[in-house]
Amino acid sequence: MSKGNISVQAENIFPIIKKFLYSDHEIFLRELVSNAVDATTKIKTLALKGEVKGELGDTKIEIKINKDAGTLHILDKGIGMSEEEVNKYLNQVAFSSAEEFLEKYKDDASIIGHFGLGFYSSFMVADKVEVITKSYQQDAPGVRWECDGNPEYTIEQNDRTERGTEIILHINDDNLEYLEESRIRELLNKYCKFLPVEIKFGTRTETTYEGEGDTKQEIKTEVDDIINNPHPIWKLKPSDLTDEDYKKFYNELHPFSQPPLFWIHLNIDYPFNLTGILYFPKLTNNFEVQKNKIQLFSNQVFITDDVKEIVPEFLMLLHGVIDSPDIPLNVSRSYLQSDSNVKKINTYISKKVAEKLQSLFTADRKAYEEKWKEVSTFVKYGMISDEKFNEKASSFALLKNLENEYYTLDEYKEKVKATQTDKHNKVIYIYANDINTQHSYIKAAKDYGYDVLEMDTIIDNHYMQHIEYKGNEVTFVRVDSETPDNLVQKDETKESVLSQAEQDKVKDIFTKSVKNLGMGHIELKALSPTDHPVMITKPEFMRRMKEMQALQGMDMNMFPDSHNVVINTNHPLISDKLVKMKSEDKKADFANYLHDLALLNQNMLKGEELSLFITRSLDFIK
C-alpha cells in the first residue's frame, strides 16, 4: 500500500469542491454515471478497433444503495484503470482522461466528460470515497483508491478480477436523502433517462402467462429494472421513423399530454453538431405552465431545461429535446454562455421552424388553416421579436375573418382595399376581439359592407402594431372604436333631421345626464335611422395602450377608463321622442336610459348600476 497527496493547483481545494463546485449537489450522480458511460463507451470503441479480444459480456451500469452501511455504489464494466492510470487521473484534479482518450480516438468515440472535475463532485455528498477498479489489460492487477475529502489518499492493489470500476460513496449526514431509493430514482430519471448505455437500478417484477383457459398460469419473474432509454429517437434518421414513433416519444417526455400538433426533427453536423426534436404543443391559456419544456442534452446527458440562450424566445413554448456536444458549458454544465455557436444554433432553429411552417402551408393549406389558432401564437410572437423570421413568416402568417375565411397578409390587403381605404389612402382593417359583446357593432359594420377580422388572442395588440409599424399602409380599427359610418373615414356625411337648435338641446340634455366619461366626450352624429340611438365608442389608441399596459402587468390607472357617447340624431327615439318630451326630468331619465342601454351593449353596465337599470326597465314596462 502506498500513500500520497493529490496534486492540486490551489490550497484547501476540497472545501471549495464541497461547497462551490456545483450549484446543485444532486449533480454528483449525473457526473459519476456519465463517467461510467464514458468508461463503457471506451471499451466498446477499443473492441471495435480490435484492441480488446473476446466478448465484452454484459456492459450495463448498475446503481446500488446499501442503507445499512450508508453507501451509494456506481458500478460499470467499462475500460477500468490500472494503478498508473488511477494515479494519473484521480490524483490530479482537473486532468481529464476523457480529453486524452477523445484526442486519440476522436473519430471513433463519443465521450461525455471533458472537464476532469466531475469525479470530485462526489465529495459534495460523501465523507469518504472508495474506487475499486481493474483495467481491461489482463496483466494489470486490481486497484483500490480511497480518500476522505482531504488531499491525502491511499492506494493499494486489490484482488478484483472483473474488468470495470466500482465507486463507493460514504454519504455524509447532511445528504442522507441520497440513500433513499425514491430520490436516486428521481435523479436517474431526470439526468440519465436517455444515456446511451443501459443503467440498472434494482429489479422489477415482470408478469407473463403460459397456457390457455383453465390451465393458464401467471408467472412472475424478477428482471433488471433498466431506468433509461439508450436509443432515443432524436438520434435516429427521420426516414426510419413513423408519426406514431414521434407521438410515442412525445408521450415519453410528457405523459398524459394532448398529442402535439406537429414536430420538427433537427439534424445538422456542420458548422456545429445538433440533433433533437421540437414539438408544437396544443397551447392552453396558462403559458407559464408551458414553459421550460425543452430539455438540453450533451451526448444524451441531461444538462438543463433553461434553454433561453439556445432557443429563440418566441419558441420557448415548444416542447422537446435538443442535443449538442458543441454548446459551451461551465464546470457545472448548467449555465450556457453566449458564444458564436450558441448564436448559430439559435438562428438555425428559427430557420428550421420557418421552413417547417412554410412547407405545411404549401403542402396542405386547409390542414394548416385548421391548426392556425394554435400555431398563430408562435408565428405572431416570432414576427414581432425576430426580424429574419418575420421576413419568412409574412408568406404563411394568416388573418381570419368572422366568416371563417383565412388570408395571408398580402391576400387580405388585396381583398379589402377597394372598400376599406380611407381618405388618407390607408387601408383599414376592422377587427373584433370579443364577438359576443361586440355583436351589434359587428352587424352594423357588415351592414356598411365592411369585412371584420377576428383578433382575440393575448398577443394580438402587439401583433397589430407590428403590422402597422412595418409600413404596410394599413391601420387596425376595432369595430367599436368608432361609429359604423366612420370606421373607414370618408368625406361623405349625412344630414341631420334636427335643426341646429334641436341638436344643441339634445347635447345639453345628455351633457347634464351622462356622467363618468373619463377623458371621453359627447358627440352628435347624423347616422342611419337603423343605427342605434346612442352608441359607446372607445378610442383605438387609448384602449390599445390600456390593454397592452394590463398585459405587461403595469399600473392600470396610467390610462384611465374613458369612452365617447355618440348620439344618432336621425334615430326616431331622438328625433321624434326625446326632443318632443315636455318634462325636463323625463328627458333626463330617458337620456340616461338610452345611455345605459349603450353601456349594456358594451358589457360596461355592472353591479349596482345594472340593478338600477333593471328596476327602471320594469318601471318603463309598467
Residue 519 has pLDDT above 80, yes or no: no
What is the distance between the alpha carbons of residues 184 and 203, in angstroms, rounded to a whole number? 14
Give CATH for domain 2-201: 3.30.565.10
pLDDT given at position 330? 47
The mean pLDDT value for 438-463 works out to 90
pLDDT tier at 113, thresholds 50, 70, 90: very low
Confidence band (pLDDT; 50, 70, 90) for 149? confident
CA–CA dist 193, 305 (Å, integer): 14
Q: Is the model's pLDDT at 551 over the cut of 80? A: no
Q: pLDDT value at position 332?
A: 41
pLDDT at 72: 98
Degrees, nearest 5: CA angle 380-384-385: 115
What is the reported pLDDT for 331? 36
For residues 19-25, give the mean pLDDT: 65
When pLDDT is averaged across residues 453-476 and rounded to a whole number, the result is 88
Query: Residue 548: what pLDDT?
Result: 64
Residue 170: Cβ within 10 Å count: 18
Of 611 and 556, more confident:
611
Burial (CB count within 10 angstroms: exposed 0-12, middle 13-18, buried 19+), residue 127: middle
Q: What pLDDT band is residue 98 in, cutting at 50, 70 and 90? A: very low
In single-letter form, the type of residue at position 34 comes to S
Query: Phi and psi for 520 in degrees, rounded to 5?
Result: -80, 180
| Closest C-alpha to 91, from 52, 61, 131, 58 | 131
Strand, coil or helix: 355: helix
Question: Confidence class of residue 414 from pLDDT cuts 50, 70 and 90?
Answer: very high
E-state strands within 425-501: 427-432, 452-454, 474-478
The CATH class of the 500-538+553-621 domain is: mainly alpha
- What is the rounded CA–CA span in Å between residue 477 and residue 429? 6
Residue 287 or 457, more confident? 457
pLDDT at 531: 85
Which helix (H) or strand (E) element contains residue 87?
helix 83-90
Lowest mean pLDDT among 248-257, 432-441, 479-488: 479-488
Residue 556 has pLDDT above 80, yes or no: no
Phi, psi at residue 411, to the nearest 5°?
-60, -40
CA distance 422 to 399: 20
How is the chain split among helix, strand and coil, in percent rounded to 5? 40, 20, 40
Residue range(s) of every CATH 1.20.120.790 domain in the chain? 500-538+553-621
Percentage, residues of the chain above pLDDT 70: 84
Predicted confidence band of residue 117 (pLDDT cuts 50, 70, 90): low
Residue among 490, 570, 566, 470 at smallest CA distance from 521:
566
Cα within 13 Å of Cα(604), Cβ side? 20
pLDDT above 70 for 323: yes
What lies within 8 Å, CB to CB, of 286 at 6+ separation is none
> Where does residue 503 fall: left (phi above 0), alpha (psi -120 to 50 degrees), or beta otherwise?
alpha
pLDDT above 70 for 328 = no
CATH 3.30.230.80: which residues of the chain?
Answer: 233-363
Most confident by average pLDDT, 163-172, 502-511, 551-560, 570-579? 163-172
Q: Is the pLDDT of residue 99 over 80?
A: no
Residue 412's contacts (CB-CB under 8 Å, 6 or more residues apart) are 399, 429, 453
* Count of beta carbons in the 10 Å neighbourhood of residue 389: 24
Say whether 298 sits in a helix, a strand or coil. strand
Q: How does pLDDT run across 485-515, given as a tens digit for each residue?
A: 888 887 666 788 888 888 888 888 888 887 7
Among candidate residues 25, 320, 58, 304, the one with its CA nearest the CA of residue 174 = 25
Q: What is the pLDDT of residue 341?
A: 72
Does residue 221 register a pLDDT over 80?
Answer: yes
- Give the CATH fold of the 233-363 domain: Ribosomal Protein S5; domain 2 (3.30.230)
Q: What is the mean pLDDT of residues 556-571?
A: 74
pLDDT of residue 272: 81
Determine whether 218 is exposed, middle or buried from the number of CB atoms within 10 Å of its CB (0-12, 13-18, 19+). exposed
What angle, rounded to 10 degrees, do the helices at 584-601 and 607-621 form?
Answer: 120
Architecture of domain 397-486 in CATH? 3-Layer(aba) Sandwich (3.40)
Residue 10 has a pLDDT of 41
Q: What does pTM read for this prediction? A: 0.76
**What confidence score (pLDDT) does residue 473 get?**
86
- 302-319 pLDDT, tens per residue? 888 888 778 888 888 889
The per-residue pLDDT of the chain, averaged, comes to 84
pLDDT score, position 8: 53
Each residue's pLDDT tens digit, 576-592:
888 888 888 888 888 88
- Residue 231: its pLDDT value, please? 93
Tens of pLDDT, residues 363-407: 999 999 999 988 898 899 999 999 999 999 999 999 999 999 999
Between β-strands 164-171 and 199-210, what pairing exists: parallel, antiparallel or unpaired?
A: unpaired
Take residue 280 and report the three cell numbers written for it: 408544437
pLDDT of residue 334: 47
Alpha carbon distance 279, 259 (integer Å): 10
Q: pLDDT class for 333, splitting at 50, 70, 90? A: very low
Residue 594 above 50 pLDDT? yes
Residues 280 and 374 sit within 8 Å (Cβ to Cβ) = yes
Report the C-alpha gap between 462 and 381 in whole angstroms: 9
- The boundaries of every CATH 3.40.50.11260 domain in the chain are 397-486
Give the 3-state secondary structure of residue 10: coil
Q: Tell me what the mean pLDDT of segment 81-101 comes to.
A: 70
Distance CA(248)–CA(263), nearest Å, equals 12
